Amino acid sequence: MTYASLKPVSKAFVQRKRLIFTRVAAVLAVLLLFLTKPALSEGSHGHETLEFLGFCLVLACVAGRLWSILYVGGKKNEELVSAGPFSMTQNPLYFFSTVGAVGIGLLYGSLVAAAVLGVASFLIFRVTARKEAEYLLGKFGPAYSAYIKATPRFWPNPLLYRDSDELQFSTRALKRTFFDGLYFLAIFPIIELVEYLRESGLLPAIITLY
């Protein structure tokens, strides 16, 4: 799946708006966490299975984002990167972030929460990715046009994987991405705390999520 009717632009997309919107959405999600409870009780086989799968997805998110930043860190919007994870999908960072969002919902023990977080992340990153694509098309022209025609926009295709002989990466970008990934891991103890407070009767739940 590639972009249709892109309009090349000369100005790079400002990421600040996306970051602000994403952080506000994250805060709202945490607040809703305190008002809901999963239908599967804590300690049940179903709950533990979803929690394990969620933790695996969050780890995959952190590892995938670090892998992606090795190739694009310090070069985003400056060079056309098409090797490593960028050979399988145009937006590996956004893909792995969406995987992490789904993982957080599963950590909570709710398929509904996982679906809502996954779809919300996908829609946010879809808009951002299109804005970035318009800028890159204006910057790299035919080379980028050929790249997006040959590479899936979001869902990776492992059969397209190819690597480069040399890899230069930004330690600063890698460090920043590592600390960003800690936000995904930090949600796990928060969820455990909420579950403890709810089981202790200190935190009432208004809505049940399946």
Q: 10 Å Cβ neighbour count for 147?
A: 20
Identify the pLDDT of residue 60: 94
At 18-73, the pLDDT tens digits run 566 666 666 666 676 777 777 777 778 888 899 899 999 999 999 999 898 888 87
Q: 10 Å Cβ neighbour count for 111?
A: 18
Look at strands 36-38 and 207-209 and give their pairing: parallel
Identify the pLDDT of residue 14: 56
Q: Which residue has the higher pLDDT, 15 or 55?
A: 55
Going by C-beta distance under 8 Å and a sequence separation of 6 or more, which residues neighbour residue 39? 110, 208, 209, 210
Give the single-character DSSP code of 88.
T
pLDDT exceeds cutoff 90 at 184: no
Q: Which DSSP string do the residues of 20-82 spell out, in sequence order?
A: HHHHHHHHHHHHHHTTEEESSPTTSHHHHHHHHHHHHHHHHHHHHHHHHHHHHTTTTTTS---
Mean of pLDDT over the chain? 80
Residues above pLDDT 70, as percent of the chain: 73
- What pTM, to 2 d.p., does this model score? 0.80
Q: Which residue has the higher pLDDT, 108 or 35?
A: 108
Give the single-character DSSP code of 14.
P
pLDDT exceeds cutoff 50 at 105: yes
Identify the pLDDT of residue 98: 93
